[in-house]
Chain A
């Protein structure tokens, strides 16, 4: 029995000690702080780290220009380990530290949990509200049935990207037979279903000859899938895959010598161009709001300088998230319009419907559902592009500009406003 006694004391002290370590709070209120909640360890750490560099860089630029209302912007990095429940805890930690803004983008499941948590906090904790700025999670539900007044999305959602893609494909005569291959989770399932809907709606002269869902991040060898693509006689593949699932797919298609065009969401995503390399040339397309050579094509000298400065600072990656630029400057405008950085409701109202002149064109934050509408680009991998992505030797070349009116969707959002 004695051992229990001693360890009982020990447990108590241990809990006390470790609690004390974990509850260091920060009193300095001066800078405007934004929690950056992303994986900074584990298998997705590279993605989280790259995003963090984008935010830090932008914050520095803003601070160099005098900050927001004369206050500096500070990015507080928080590691959510790509886990929704960890992210919810980090929102709580942000609230504890008096941070009013959180940003996140990797993983729609994380985003979904964050929207819930932010709403819940703002409902129960009225004097310490949080605004959630989403720079990359594309699940349409976040601006439809699950839309929230405190959530703003700066990336085009999945439905919008697909809409843009369909509008482009409609006019391409050499695209006749589509093969859809996607990851077996809501993102991939959505693409698989919505693409077919769009083909019907737009009465496109395109036939879906194959539709496959594969488990996310588990397939090591795509050769069997490639065999199916080949047997189906498809000329074009559409995929929402990202990370290894995309680079392995492209590699398998290439090494089988299959001649198909691959339309992707994330062909230029971090690490992917490096993993695909030259074999993606004139083969791998992407739908994005921007890519490096847009600066060259459209003579955006100032923004090109921004890109070059970023590269100089972080030679191993490239400026990729144009929407981080949009997001940070739109937030700046909204805070300056309100005159303080604490009244979250007012800042949210200021962001609603805001029109922002981005280097690539006007970005509108649709008031109805807090979805940013912006022109999109369809581009293809090209070794001759002025700027290659992630030092891979291949960059992207624009094949089509999709004007903002062709890159939009209907929303079913029924926003509850305070």
Chain B
């Protein structure tokens, strides 16, 4: 049991940090602009592909910095020439715009890079075993992901709490009208925040593409789960996103790691493995795990729509 808990926490934290890289940007964008960016995972995908292509020319380390900047630029263009125009029509069209954008980006990626996964591999410098826990190796690359996430959180925290730009962003999060009245160019702040959020997702893609698979389906795979994190953490709250990422990461991993079903634990009580409750009674925890985030999503929204750390409801 100790082993299981240790594994779950370690793996869960690793998974959680990756989730955080994506959800922090999304939650910033939402908190500020009220836009739930459906295409956010697409920018994550762009990060992976840009880094893969750049990496062939410049190597991984340069790509690690350039790719997120490129993704951020794409984000800025999308905001400036797409989203800003749609903004005047209201939130629903904005949401739908990003919804359509996700399809277009996926198609374009498939067009330029093909539908087969690209061989995006970790740099040799990180390709060794960092430590061994109960007989399982943990590669240096996983530790590196962890470090990147920590650096990102610290950076974000400093940016938001300690700088003037952060002050403006925080202000815009709660009172965009007031910030505008104080003479700040709110549309420009919006554009920069959108670009910045996309760049964060792109950074997630640079490392996530290696950890998982870099193919045109990766955005679709990652998309919904990031929403769950953002909603659970509280829309607009960066610390909330961090906590929610870790909770979901650990919880999901834990459910996958244990051998558990109600029937095995409590006894079958004569309940057969058929019918709605029967199947539920006999359902293995591993089979429920992937549905868990959505269950959390629905429950959170019903009972606490502002999430764990959110200041206001969506």
Task: Using CB atoms and an 8 Å cutoff, list the residues of chain A in contact with chain B.
Answer: 43, 45-46, 49, 184, 212-215, 217-221, 223-228, 230-231, 244, 247-248, 255-258, 270-271, 274-275, 277, 316, 390, 392
Q: Are B215 and A244 in contact (CB under 8 A)?
A: yes
> Could you show 21 A-B contacts with beta carbons less than 8 Å apart?
A43-B115, A46-B116, A212-B286, A213-B284, A213-B287, A218-B221, A221-B14, A221-B211, A224-B11, A227-B3, A227-B7, A230-B135, A231-B3, A244-B117, A248-B213, A255-B137, A255-B141, A257-B136, A271-B117, A275-B213, A316-B116
Q: Which 4 A-B pairs have the closest CB atoms?
A: A257-B137, A46-B115, A224-B256, A227-B7
Report the minimum CB–CB distance from A269 to chain B (whole Å). Answer: 11
Alpha-carbon distance between A227 and B253 when the two chains are bound, in angstroms: 10
**Minimum CB distance partner of B211 in chain A:** A221
The 0/1 profile, CB within 8 Å of A marked 1, for residues 3-38 of chain B is 110011001001100000000000000000000000
Number of interface residues of B (CB under 8 A): 42
Q: Which residues does chain A contribute within 8 Å of B256, judged by CB atoms?
A: 214, 224-225, 228
- Among A46, A214, A217, A230, contact of B136 (Cβ-Cβ < 8 Å): A230
Alpha-carbon distance between A271 and B3 when the two chains are bound, in angstroms: 35
- Cross-chain pair count, CB within 8 angstroms: 103
Q: Which residues does chain A contribute within 8 Å of B3, judged by CB atoms?
A: 227, 231
Task: Using CB atoms and an 8 Å cutoff, list the residues of chain B in contact with chain A.
Answer: 3-4, 7-8, 11, 14-15, 110, 114-117, 119, 121, 129, 132, 134-139, 141-142, 211-213, 215-217, 220-222, 253, 256-257, 259, 284, 286-287, 290-291
Q: Which residues does chain A contribute within 8 Å of B129, judged by CB atoms?
A: 257
Alpha-carbon distance between A184 and B284 when the two chains are bound, in angstroms: 11
Q: Which residues does chain B contribute within 8 Å of A274, judged by CB atoms?
A: 116-117, 119
Q: Which residues does chain B contribute within 8 Å of A275, judged by CB atoms?
A: 117, 119, 213
**Minimum CB distance partner of A39 in chain B:** B115
Q: Are B213 and A247 in contact (CB under 8 A)?
A: yes
Q: Are A227 and B117 in contact (CB under 8 A)?
A: no
Q: Are A271 and B116 in contact (CB under 8 A)?
A: yes
Q: Are A221 and B115 in contact (CB under 8 A)?
A: no
Q: Are A213 and B136 in contact (CB under 8 A)?
A: no
**Minimum CB distance partner of A220 in chain B:** B212
**Minimum CB distance partner of B114 in chain A:** A46
Q: Are A270 and B7 in contact (CB under 8 A)?
A: no
Q: Which residues does chain A contribute within 8 Å of B212, judged by CB atoms?
A: 220-221, 248
Q: Are B290 and A214 in contact (CB under 8 A)?
A: yes
Assuming A215-B290, A247-B213, is B110 touching A45 (CB within 8 A)? yes
Q: Are A224 and B116 in contact (CB under 8 A)?
A: no
Q: What would 15 more interface pairs be, CB under 8 Å, given A223-B253, A244-B117? A: A49-B115, A214-B290, A215-B287, A217-B221, A219-B290, A220-B15, A221-B11, A221-B14, A227-B8, A227-B11, A228-B257, A230-B135, A231-B4, A256-B137, A271-B215
Alpha-carbon distance between A45 and B216 when the two chains are bound, in angstroms: 11
Alpha-carbon distance between A231 and B142 when the two chains are bound, in angstroms: 21
Alpha-carbon distance between A168 and B132 when the two chains are bound, in angstroms: 34
Report the minimum CB–CB distance from A393 to chain B (whole Å). Answer: 10
Alpha-carbon distance between A274 and B115 when the two chains are bound, in angstroms: 13
Q: Are B116 and A270 in contact (CB under 8 A)?
A: yes
Q: Are A224 and B290 in contact (CB under 8 A)?
A: no
Q: Are A223 and B11 in contact (CB under 8 A)?
A: yes
- Among B114, B139, B141, B290, contact of A218 (Cβ-Cβ < 8 Å): B290
